[in-house]
């Protein structure tokens, strides 16, 4: 049986015919919609590399069956820049060396954007580390990531910041 | 992953009809079911997506003061509900200590109750596992079993229930509301999860095709709110299952304990209520000596099921420590590291 699936992805409505219900949201984005920003690290919910926002909430796209989010609004790393300029969290990751190889970075940034929406401005590094513990970085760029999120949080809450 | 038919009912009756089909499995947040479908440990023929069912996503205060939480309420949503966190702070703290921000946004209350053990042999279809395939044996005996049960286990299975949320739910004497083909019924939380015995494959009181509709919390539980904590010992600071965890709730009357509730996680196939330890605390002065004795009593029946004797001493200490934390008072601010033994002094408002 073929299922029809309609999603808003990064502001654009997409209708996809799915011949196989096993397709995860991650595979849909990467293999069928050509959006390879979200990464497949573990495919088991254990690393956070696949993090995207569904209706504004961060989720692991690898543990989400695509059909279950029919009708939802999906935001991926490809959709966060506005009018050609980087999202403040993206800019802060560059300013603070929040990555090395970059594999975990799309997931880190989407998770940080989701975290700020949940928790509001974040200044306490402990809170940031705990809030982002669902995103592993095999390069160990955690110090830069924490600083980047702190700084972006200041900018987004209108309290200045360096990035 | 085996191919399956996907159905998305929009009414409870449709869901129950679909759930009665052979090989059907209900899908909520999917964080456990889909994971196990990927390993091949679960192989449903029909996946019944219950996330669009109406009326199962609310947190309601009932007329008698009890609080009813719908089975589809996401873990993050419940923890972030200010009125709920104020009334049941140990539950909020346990929720915040579980999994990751992403997973808590996905995971539902019902799915958390019904999640499978994290025993690695259960998840691996190539291993012998009485819980997954009755009669095949148990590869955890003589295998990797540091994190397995020290209470209530049997020769057939030594697995633990991994949930954090379920630990304070047990301490609160919650009630599980169930709907099924034969109508609605209720099961006390303490009878919901089964000890393995000779039938480790029967993990809960849920019959095939039944749906957990809600969990009801007695209104009396709010009396513990000033002294209610959860403590979770993990192998890393965050984003890890409990090695051992404990919830403690106290009602204090001029320094003496009027009522105590204690439950442990990570030690048995169900959240473990420590009734003898609770009873022994009543009337006692709330001090370290009493808490230490409670820890001894809570683990009195424990015995190692493998290379896990350390969990018995860890359990005693976790009970004593969480009682001390509870006696000191529920913090106004959720700790930056919820339920952590490393909790820092900084934090944000637990409730607005
Ligand atoms: C990497 C990782 C780390 C984790 N860490 C923790 C942790 O630290 N602490 C913790 O407590 N948990 C942890 N979890 C487990 C997680 O909390 C559970 O997977 C989650 O709560 C399951 O909820 P769900 O809605 O996703 O369930 P699903 O995966 O949708 O379902 C799980 C089971 O419940 C059944 N089911 C679901 N809802 C109902 C219902 N209403 N009625 C009848 N049957 C139903 C399904 O059929 C299935 O058998 C972790 C999970 C992962 C992947
Ligand atoms: S401990 Fe239980 S779940 Fe683990 S392999 Fe043995 S029977 Fe299976
Ligand atoms: S790929 Fe989804 S969490 Fe690792
Ligand atoms: S930058 Fe390499 S994994 Fe994080």
Predicted pLDDT at B348: 45
Predicted pLDDT at B34: 98
From residue B217, alpha-carbon distances to A4, A54, B61, B260, B342 in Å are: 40, 30, 10, 17, 29
As a whole number of angstroms, the distance between CA B93 and CA B331 comes to 11
Which chain A residues have a beta carbon less than 8 Å from that of B30?
A: 63-65, 68
**pLDDT tens-digit profile of A61-73?**
999 999 999 999 9
**Do A111 and B6 lie within an 8 Å CB cutoff?**
no
Under the banding of pLDDT at 50, 70 and 90, the label for residue A18 is very high
Under the banding of pLDDT at 50, 70 and 90, the label for residue A145 is very high
Q: Which residues pair with A16 in a beta bridge?
A: A5
Number of domains into which chain B is organized? 2
Predicted pLDDT at B333: 82
**Do A63 and B34 lie within an 8 Å CB cutoff?**
yes
Q: Contact B298/B262 with Cβ under 8 angstroms?
A: yes
Residue B20: inside a domain: yes
Residue B36: inside a domain: yes
Among B9, B31, B52, identify where a domain stops: B52
Residue B254: inside a domain: yes
**pLDDT tens-digit profile of A19-43?**
999 999 999 999 999 999 999 999 9
Among protein residues, the one whose CA lies closest to atom 2 of ligand 2: B157
Tell me if chain B has a CB within 8 Å of the CB of A131.
yes
Query: Virtual CA dihedral for B15, B21, B24, B28, nearest 10 degrees?
Result: 0
ipTM exceeding cut-off 0.95 for this assembly? yes
Using the Cα atoms of residue B279, residue B264, residue B337 and residue B347 in order, give the sign of their dihedral: negative
Domain ranges of chain A: 3-77, 88-156
User: Per-residue pLDDT for chain B (352 aa), expressed as one digit of tens each?
Assistant: 999 999 999 999 999 999 999 999 999 999 999 999 999 999 999 999 999 999 999 999 999 999 999 999 999 999 999 999 999 999 999 999 999 999 999 999 999 999 999 999 999 999 999 999 999 999 999 999 999 999 999 999 999 999 999 999 999 999 999 999 999 999 999 999 999 999 999 999 999 999 999 999 999 999 999 999 999 999 999 999 999 999 999 999 998 999 999 999 999 999 999 999 999 999 999 999 999 999 999 999 999 999 999 999 999 999 999 999 999 999 998 889 999 998 655 444 444 3
Domain of B301, in residue numbers = 226-329
As a whole number of angstroms, the distance between CA A79 and CA B180 comes to 43
How far is ligand 1, taken at its centre, from the CA of residue A144, in Å?
Answer: 32
As a whole number of angstroms, the distance between CA B81 and CA B167 comes to 19
Residue B133: inside a domain: no
**Do A67 and B49 lie within an 8 Å CB cutoff?**
yes
Among B36, B52, B68, identify where a domain stops: B52
Which chain B residues have a beta carbon less than 8 Å from that of A135?
A: 100
Q: For A22, which of B1, B27, B336 is closest by C-beta distance? A: B1
Residue B143: inside a domain: no
The number of angstroms, rounded, from the C-alpha of B64 to the middle of its chain's C-alpha atoms is 25
> Residue B73 gets which letter from DSSP?
-
CATH of the domain at B257: 3.30.390.50
Beta carbon of A60 within 6 Å of any ligand 3 atom = yes
Predicted pLDDT at B343: 65
How far is ligand 2, taken at its centre, from the CA of residue B156, in Å?
Answer: 8
The structure tokens listed for B180 are: 């099924």
Predicted pLDDT at A73: 98
Residue B350: inside a domain: no
Listed in order, strand segments (DSSP E) in chain B are 5-7, 24-27, 46-49, 59-61, 67-70, 175-180, 183-188, 211-217, 228-233, 244-253, 256-265, 272-273, 333-335, 347-349
Nearest alpha carbon to residue B297 among B314, B310, B316, B284: B316
Q: Contact A58/A96 with Cβ under 8 angstroms?
A: no
CATH of the domain at B32: 3.30.43.10
Predicted pLDDT at A54: 98
From residue B129, alpha-carbon distances to A97, B125, B151, B304, B307 in Å are: 46, 8, 19, 19, 18
Predicted pLDDT at A60: 99
Helix (H, G, I), strand (E, B) or coil at B233: strand
Predicted pLDDT at B344: 55
CATH class of A88-156: mainly alpha
Residue B205: inside a domain: no
State which fold the A3-77 domain adopts.
Answer: Ubiquitin-like (UB roll) (3.10.20)
Q: Determine if residue B252 is left, alpha or beta; phi over 0 gives left, psi from -120 to 50 gives alpha, anything else beta.
A: beta
**Do B103 and A60 lie within an 8 Å CB cutoff?**
yes
């Amino acid at each position: 049986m073929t299922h029809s699936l309609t999603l808003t992805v990064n502001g654009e409505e997409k209708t996809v015919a799915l011949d196989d219900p096993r397709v995860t949201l991650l595979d849909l984005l990467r293999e069928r919609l050509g959006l390879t920003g979200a990464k497949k690290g573990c495919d088991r919910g254990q690393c956070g590399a696949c993090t995207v926002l569904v209706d504004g909430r961060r989720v692991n796209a690898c543990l989400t069956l695509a059909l279950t989010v029919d009708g939802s609004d999906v935001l991926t790393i490809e959709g966060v820049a506005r009018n050609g300029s980087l999202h403040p969290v993206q800019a802060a990751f560059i300013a603070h060396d929040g990555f090395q190889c970059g594999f975990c970075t799309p997931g880190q940034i989407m998770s940080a954007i989701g975290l700020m929406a949940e928790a509001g401005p974040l200044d306490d590094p402990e809170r940031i580390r705990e809030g982002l513990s669902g995103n592993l970085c095999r390069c160990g760029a955690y110090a830069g990531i924490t600083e980047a999120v702190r700084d972006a949080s200041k900018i987004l809450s209108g309290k200045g910041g360096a990035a | 992953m085996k191919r399956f038919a996907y159905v998305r009912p929009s009414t409870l009756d449709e869901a129950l009809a679909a759930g009665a089909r052979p090989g059907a499995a209900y899908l909520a947040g999917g964080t456990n079911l889909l994971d196990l479908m990927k390993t091949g440990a679960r192989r449903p023929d029909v996946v019944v997506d219950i996330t669009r069912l109406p009326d199962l996503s609310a947190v309601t205060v009932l007329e008698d003061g009890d609080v009813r939480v719908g089975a589809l309420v996401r873990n993050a949503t419940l923890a972030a509900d200010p009125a709920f966190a104020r009334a049941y702070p140990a539950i909020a703290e346990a929720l915040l200590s579980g999994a990751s921000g992403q997973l808590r946004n996905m995971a539902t209350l019902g799915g958390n109750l019904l999640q499978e053990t994290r025993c690695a042999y259960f998840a691996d279809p190539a291993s012998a596992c009485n819980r997954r395939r009755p009669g095949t044996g148990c590869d955890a005996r003589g295998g990797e079993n540091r994190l397995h049960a020290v209470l209530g286990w049997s020769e057939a299975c030594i697995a633990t229930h991994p949930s954090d949320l379920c630990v304070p739910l047990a301490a609160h004497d919650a009630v599980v509301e169930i709907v099924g083909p034969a109508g609605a019924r209720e099961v006390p939380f303490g009878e919901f999860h089964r000890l393995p015995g000779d039938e480790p494959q029967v993990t809960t009181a849920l019959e095939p095709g039944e749906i957990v509709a809600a969990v009801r919390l007695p209104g009396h539980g709010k009396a513990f709110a000033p002294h209610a904590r959860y403590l979770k010992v993990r192998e890393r600071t965050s984003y890890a299952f409990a090695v051992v965890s404990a919830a403690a709730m106290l009602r204090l009357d001029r320094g003496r304990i009027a009522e105590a509730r204690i439950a442990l996680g990570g030690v048995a196939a169900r959240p473990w209520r420590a009734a003898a330890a609770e009873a022994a605390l009543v009337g006692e002065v709330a001090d370290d000596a009493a808490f230490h004795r409670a820890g001894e009593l809570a683990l009195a029946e424990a015995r190692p099921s493998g290379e896990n004797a350390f969990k018995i001493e860890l359990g005693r200490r976790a009970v004593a420590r969480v009682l001390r934390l509870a006696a000191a008072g529920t913090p106004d601010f959720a700790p930056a590291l919820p339920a952590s033994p490393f909790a820092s002094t900084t934090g944000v408002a637990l409730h607005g």
